[in-house]
């Protein structure tokens, strides 16, 4: 995973984000949306962040896009820490390097502006004044880059005249107009029709391949992550629980949560042969992610984990560094029980534990 | 489907009436002066409080001034105050309300506090104090006072709308691109509020014309300027109602009512443009629906 010759473009070092929320009677509570996350984005590589809703994926993307300031920790752009002071100049440098693609292509284009306006603003903001002809050429080449050809057909269209896939292409073209080095995709395909998702993934792949963009791909869909990315990071309840090269992580999970996540996604080529009923029959018994206001002590997954031991309830698990550049935050590796992970499907293990508890 | 503002009769009527008065305000005094040979200020001693006649189509006042010429001259004064007051009021409510909604935190709270302050201010007594303090109150000053004290409600509305638009993804996306706050407000958020602003402007227009008349009636006006308000006030002072001089006060009153109605009718159209649910059905749609209903009924039989 770590190639020491390539320096990361964007790096998050032990970043946490806490939000304070006030309830009806004015008591403030703290939501620990993201805690202790470290992430490196390398040029020409795609990192996928997977996890269920509420695991802090979107908050992480927005931290990296600097919508929010991290509560603790540091974000580094090309090795240089990004200051907490919001100076206009440093802000602009950052915007020029890092662009975010939103989840909803129907919401992220202003319905009152033509395609042309979006692209021209991006160019004008980051590349200064240029002649009308040069700008038109630039806009046309951007649209061609995202396969909206001929460009003249799309230039003067309003968003409502475009399909969801076309809109998302415009959104990507707008981000590319800045000529960024990092592209953050916050579930960029989840709102699109299944039939055009693949084209979108291929577009992202070609951007990485041809322009050396570093891409963060946030998703809850393991299959698309497997198709697109190089490395996978699994998040649970605001923390990273496992990371490594995609094939190893998916085919041989080293954290109980990753295993549960992988098994919950339908995949005809799964190594472990389990029938559908066994996986989804007891789906409602698999538990829910914990509250981020009052997260469980120790390992945050322990209330749902069939392997949970006494120390899981009290102490946070140490990071177990494994072969092939992988790691997992789990006590099983520490006590030499890692082999148990592969004994049976998670649903079976969870059901077994539940029946033991009730007995 | 494109919606035409002139598709229904209400708006057309409103535009025609308001257009007529605007035209009257612009060229009316010139026509009365050079074509009809009437002057709003000359006193015709031979005709004092005379009812409508060939020489004075709308009669004369207590002072022998021609009422028609005064109504036309008054259109200029009233429309001037109406438009200027509405422009000032709308401009202030846009400049205060939209940033108040766009910026959260201290800036938003400060602007909102200012709005609330003007909202609860006892406007009428304050206007008297200010008018008294300023001595000579010309029409410009009247329009200014009306605008400055009448923006708060509109700013409140715009703040709420701007707040909801500002949180939408496309504003965040353009911010992500590096757009400045000023551009985000004026290029991304404000265009979504044009419907509201147009309707506020029309509301402000009615309000300002009425307020001018009201203030003139209460004595806050420029006695040398002629507007519909000052006409009614002069008529009231000379007990025109008691003496049955109806031609003196009915025309300006009717004009005020007409301008108000016209602006309100246009406002309906603007509302329908901004909110499709309010749109009245056009005759074509009614016909089509009816035809369909008949077809379905005959099929069933």
pLDDT means over runs of 10, chain A (359 residues): 68 88 74 88 91 86 86 85 69 86 86 87 83 87 85 85 87 88 88 83 88 90 87 90 89 88 71 54 65 84 84 86 86 82 78 75
Residue B238 has pLDDT above 80, yes or no: no
Domain assignment present for residue B2? The answer is no
- By Cβ distance, the residue of B169, B177, B188 closest to A125 is B177
Domains of chain A: 1-249 (3.40.50.300), 252-359 (no CATH)
B260 has pLDDT over 80: yes
Q: CA-CA distance, A251 to B195, in Å (whole number)?
A: 56
Contact B215, B229 (CB under 8 A): yes
Based on the structure, what is the number of domains in chain B? 1
Query: Which residues in B lie closer than 8 A to residue A125 (C-beta atoms)?
Result: 177-179
Q: How far is A122 from chain B (nearest CA, A)?
A: 6
pLDDT (average), residues B3-11: 67
Do B177 and A110 lie within an 8 Å CB cutoff?
A: no
Q: Could you tell me which chain B residue has the CA closest to the CA of A171?
A: B173
| pLDDT value for A217 | 92
Cα-based angle B208, B101, A82 (whole degrees, multiple of 5): 150
Question: ipTM exceeding 0.90?
Answer: no
CA-nearest of B175, B187, B205, B230 to B61 is B230
Q: Is residue B252 part of a domain?
A: yes
Question: Rounded to whole angstroms, how far apart are CA atoms B22 and B34?
Answer: 19
Question: Quick check: A99 and A184 in contact, CB under 8 A?
Answer: yes
With beta carbons under 8 A apart, name residues in chain B contacting A102.
169, 172-173
- Secondary structure (DSSP) of B189-244: IGGGGHHHHHHHHHHHHHHHHHHHHHHHHTT-S-TTS--HHHHHHHHHHTTHHHHT
The tokens for B184 are: 């985000």
Q: Residues of chain B whose C-beta is under 8 A from some C-beta in A? A: 168-174, 176-179, 188, 191-192
- pTM for this prediction: 0.76
Residues of chain B contacting residue A168, judged by C-beta atoms under 8 Å apart? none
- Residue in A with minimal Cα distance to B169: A108
Whether B52 has a pLDDT exceeding 80, the answer reads no
User: Assign residue A26 a region: left if phi > 0, alpha if psi is -120 to 50, beta otherwise?
Assistant: left
Q: How far is B227 from chain A (nearest CA, A)?
A: 41
In this prediction, residues B37-51 reach a mean pLDDT of 70
Q: Which of B55, B33, B175, B163 minimizes the C-alpha distance to A92?
A: B175
What residues in B contact A100, CB-CB < 8 Å?
A: 173, 176
What are phi and psi for residue B247, nearest 5 degrees?
A: -70, -10
Q: At B1, is the pLDDT very low, low, confident or very high (cuts 50, 70, 90)?
A: very low
Check residue A277 and give its pLDDT: 57
Give a yes or no: residue B4 inside a domain: no
Phi, psi values for residue B52, rounded to 5°: -50, 135
Question: What is the structure's pLDDT at B92?
Answer: 93
Distance from CA of residue A304 to its chain's centroid?
23
Interchain CB distance below 8 Å, A109 and B188: no
Would the CB atoms of A125 and B178 count as touching at under 8 Å?
A: yes
The 3-class secondary structure across A58-100, one letter per residue, is HHHHHHHCCCCCCCEEEEEECCEECCCCCCHHHHHHHHHHEEE
Q: Report residue A156: phi and psi, to 5°.
A: -105, 20
| Helix (H/G/I), strand (E/B), else coil: B37 | coil
Q: Is residue B3 included in any domain, yes or no?
A: no
A178 interaction partners in chain B (CB closer than 8 Å):
177-178
* Interface contact A67-B172, CB threshold 8 A: yes
Tokens for B190, please give them. 């404000």
Task: Give domain status of residue B86, yes or no.
Answer: yes
Minimum-distance CB partner of B177 among A67, A111, A122: A122
Contacts of B173 in chain A (CB under 8 A): 100, 102, 108-109, 171, 174
User: Chain B residues with CB inside 8 Å of A121's CB?
Assistant: 174, 177, 179
Model pLDDT, residue A84: 62
Of A91, A107, A113, the CB nearest to B168: A107
CB contact under 8 A, B177 and A95: yes
Interchain contact, B169 vs A122, CB within 8 Å:
no
Task: List the CATH number of the domain containing B248.
Answer: 1.10.3720.10
pLDDT digits 0-9 by tens, B107-144? 888 998 999 988 888 877 887 788 778 766 678 888 88
Beta strand A46-50 pairing with A98-101: unpaired
Query: What is the rounded distance in angstroms from the CA atom of residue A170 to the CA atom of residue A160?
Result: 12
Asked if A117 and A174 count as a contact pair (C-beta separation under 8 A), the reply is no
| Alpha carbon of A58: minimum distance to chain B alpha carbons (Å) | 14
- Residue A299 to residue A37: CA distance in whole angstroms: 15
A174 interaction partners in chain B (CB closer than 8 Å): 173, 177
Rounded to a whole number, what is the distance in Å from the CA of B187 to chain A's nearest CA?
A: 9
pLDDT attached to residue B61: 73
Per DSSP, the three-state class of A216 is: strand
Minimal-distance CA residue of chain B relative to A62: B176
Inter-chain touch B177–A178, beta carbons under 8 Å: yes
* Residue B28 structural domain: 9-300
Longest CA–CA separation in chain B, Å: 81
A108, A113, A178: which to substitute to probe chain B, counting the most B Cβ within 10 Å? A108
Mean pLDDT taken over chain B: 80
Token pair 């401009």 in the structure block, residue = B91
């Amino acid at each position: 995973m770590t190639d020491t010759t390539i320096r990361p473009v964007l790096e998050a070092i032990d970043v946490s984000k806490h939000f304070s929320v006030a309830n009806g009677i004015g008591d403030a509570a703290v939501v620990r949306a993201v805690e202790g996350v470290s992430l490196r984005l390398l040029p020409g590589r795609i990192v996928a962040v997977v996890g269920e809703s509420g695991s802090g994926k979107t908050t992480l993307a927005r931290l990296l896009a600097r919508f929010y300031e991290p509560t603790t920790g540091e974000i580094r752009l090309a090795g240089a820490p990004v200051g907490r002071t919001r100076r206009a100049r440093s802000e602009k440098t950052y915007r020029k390097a890092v662009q975010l693609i939103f989840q909803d292509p129907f919401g992220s284009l202003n319905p009152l502006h033509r395609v042309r306006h979006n692209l021209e603003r991006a160019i004008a903001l980051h590349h200064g004044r240029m002649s009308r002809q040069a700008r038109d050429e630039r806009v046309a080449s951007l649209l061609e880059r995202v396969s909206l050809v001929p460009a003249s057909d799309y230039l003067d269209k309003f968003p409502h005249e475009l399909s969801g896939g076309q809109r998302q292409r415009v959104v990507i073209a707008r981000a590319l107009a800045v000529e960024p080095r990092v592209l953050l995709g916050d579930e960029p395909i989840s709102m699109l029709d299944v039939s055009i998702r693949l084209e979108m993934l291929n577009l992202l792949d070609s951007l990485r391949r041809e322009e050396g963009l570093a891409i963060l791909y946030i998703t809850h869909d393991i299959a698309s992550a497997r198709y697109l990315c190089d490395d996978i990071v699994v998040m649970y309840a605001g923390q990273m629980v496992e990371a490594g090269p995609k094939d190893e992580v998916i085919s041989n999970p080293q954290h109980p949560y990753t295993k549960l996540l992988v098994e919950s996604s339908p995949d005809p080529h799964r190594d472990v042969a389990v029938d559908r009923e066994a996986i989804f029959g007891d789906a409602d018994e698999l538990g829910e992610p914990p509250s981020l206001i009052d997260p469980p002590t120790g390992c945050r997954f322990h209330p749902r984990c069939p392997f949970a031991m006494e120390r899981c309830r009290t102490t946070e698990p140490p990071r177990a560094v494994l072969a092939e550049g992988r790691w997992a935050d789990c006590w099983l590796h520490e006590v030499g029980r890692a082999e148990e992970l592969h004994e049976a499907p998670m649903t079976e293990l969870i059901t077994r534990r539940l029946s033991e508890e009730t007995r | 489907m494109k919606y035409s503002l002139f598709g229904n009769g209400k708006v057309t009527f409103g535009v025609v009436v308001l257009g007529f008065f605007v035209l009257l305000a612009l060229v009316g005094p010139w026509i009365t002066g050079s074509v009809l040979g009437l002057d709003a200020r000359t006193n015709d001693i031979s005709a004092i409080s005379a009812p409508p006649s060939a020489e004075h189509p709308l009669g004369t006042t207590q002072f022998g001034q021609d009422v028609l010429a005064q109504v036309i001259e008054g259109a200029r004064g009233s429309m001037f105050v109406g438009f200027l007051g509405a422009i000032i009021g709308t401009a202030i409510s846009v400049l205060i309300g939209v940033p108040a909604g766009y910026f959260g935190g201290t800036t938003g709270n400060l602007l909102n506090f200012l709005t609330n302050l003007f909202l609860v201010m006892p406007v009428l007594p304050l206007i008297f104090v200010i008018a008294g303090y300023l001595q000579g109150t010309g029409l410009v000053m009247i329009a200014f006072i009306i605008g400055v004290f009448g923006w708060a409600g509109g700013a409140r509305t715009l703040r709420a709308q701007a707040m909801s638009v500002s949180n939408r993804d496309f504003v965040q996306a353009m911010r992500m691109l590096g757009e400045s706050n000023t551009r985000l407000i004026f290029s991304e958020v404000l265009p979504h509020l044009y419907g509201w602003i147009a309707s506020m402007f029309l509301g402000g227009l009615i309000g300002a014309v009425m307020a001018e008349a009201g203030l003139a009636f209460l004595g806050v006006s420029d006695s040398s300027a002629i507007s519909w308000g000052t006409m009614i006030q002069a008529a009231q002072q000379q007990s025109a109602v008691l003496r049955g001089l109806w031609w003196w006060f009915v025309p300006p009153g009717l004009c005020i009512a007409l301008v108000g109605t016209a602006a309100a009718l246009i406002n309906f159209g603007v509302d329908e443009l901004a909110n499709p649910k309010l749109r009245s059905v056009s005759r074509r749609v009614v016909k089509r629906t009816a035809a369909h209903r008949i077809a379905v009924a005959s099929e069933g039989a």
